[in-house]
Amino acid sequence: MLEFLTFLLDNAIMPIKSEQLLLTKGDKLPLEDAGNRYVYGISEGIIAVQKEEMILDFSSIGQFVGFYADGNSRLEGEVLTKSAIVWKFELRDILTKIGLNNDGFLLYSKHASHMHDSLMKKISILKLNNTNKLILSLRSLASRFGESATDLESCRLPECFTKKVLSNYTGIKLSSLTKVLNNLHDDGKIVHSRRVILVHI
């Protein structure tokens, strides 16, 4: 995905306006403002894409926030990590650039396919009971964002994936989520302590 961001920043191929933003945890990324639609390419950090309190997905290095929208309500990005670096573009500029370059269109199509697959996977997971919903969500997040643990068969979720974040992502109430985490720990599927979640994958 970094290849697509590199393409958009390449001024040798139809330069478009971009702005680098240095952000900290909790900063918001508005996707719409005064009739303009914005897209953010991520160079560092993890961003949640959310509709009010509900988190739809997460994006990290080389990925984007802002290509999809919900006509019924406003979406926005929120920085989850201690810091983040993003590039801000106007959506119309991106569409113009990829419309004039075959390589750019292929890179955009690859990104759109990845985004679609991620959302469809989440939709299928959300139909399950809380236990299966949570363990499959944790495994998916661990495969995308996890850090290698001492045990080669485990991944550690970054600390920004707090219980509140997981609750808003899975739709499981916070009180129920703690119970399910404890049950998964007892079953040996994860290692769970106050601020650490190790997922066996």
**Which is more confidently placed, 191 or 168?**
168
* Mean pLDDT, the chain, integer: 90
Task: Give the span between the Cα atoms of 77 and 172, in whole angstroms.
Answer: 21
Give me the residue spans of the domains in the chain.
Answer: 2-124, 129-200
pLDDT at residue 136 above 70? yes
- At 68, the pLDDT band (50, 70, 90 cuts) reads confident
Measured CA distances, 92 to 40, 141, 178 (Å): 13, 31, 43
pLDDT at residue 152 tops 70: no
Task: Give 84's strand partners.
Answer: 23
* One fold for 2-124 and 129-200: no
The CATH classification number of 129-200 equals 1.10.10.10
Helices assigned H by DSSP within the chain: 2-9, 91-99, 102-125, 130-145, 163-170, 174-186
Task: Compute the distance between CA of residue 152 and CA of residue 13 in angstroms, rounded to an integer.
Answer: 42
Which tokens sit at 39? 């897209």
pLDDT band at 70 (very low <50, low <70, confident <90, very high): low
Q: Where is pLDDT greater, at 36 or 176? A: 176
- Given the candidates 1.20.950.20, 2.60.40.10, 2.60.120.10, 3.30.70.100, the CATH classification of the domain at 2-124 is 2.60.120.10
Amino acid 28: pLDDT: 95
